[in-house]
A = this chain, B = another copy of it.
Amino acid sequence: MERLEKYRNIIYELLTSHAAYSYSEAESDVECQVVFDRENDHYQILDVGWEGLNRIYNCSIHIDIKDGKIWIQRNMTEADLAQELLEMGVVKEDIILGLHPPYKRPYTGYGVA
């Protein structure tokens, strides 16, 4: 349970650092949202809004915790999120690259479900 709280705090730190680089710097009607659902362990960064007549709706990062493991579900940034999690103190076996299909995960060097 203590490890779980530690992982949540690490994800929070990761997301807020990346949110700082997000869309909102442009002068537009686009909001950078940090979604932090501690109850269900779903965590995201989203850009939502309008740029003139163009709708912007983009999830750049989505991370979950399932059964004590951290799943990277989406990464539209150039950052190596798994590497960043490692450097922040997450155990390698506890990181699952959801972006790879299940059959590939045993060969990623990271965790499996």
Contacts and interface: CB of A to CB of B under 8 A. Distances in A.
A33 B40 contact: yes
Contacts of A42: 33, 35, 37, 46
B37 A57 contact: no
A110 interface: no
A85 interface: no
A48 B64 CA distance: 11
Given A53-B101, A101-B50, A101-B53, A36 B33 contact: no
A91 interface: no
Contacts of A36: 37, 39-40
Contacts of A101: 50, 53, 55
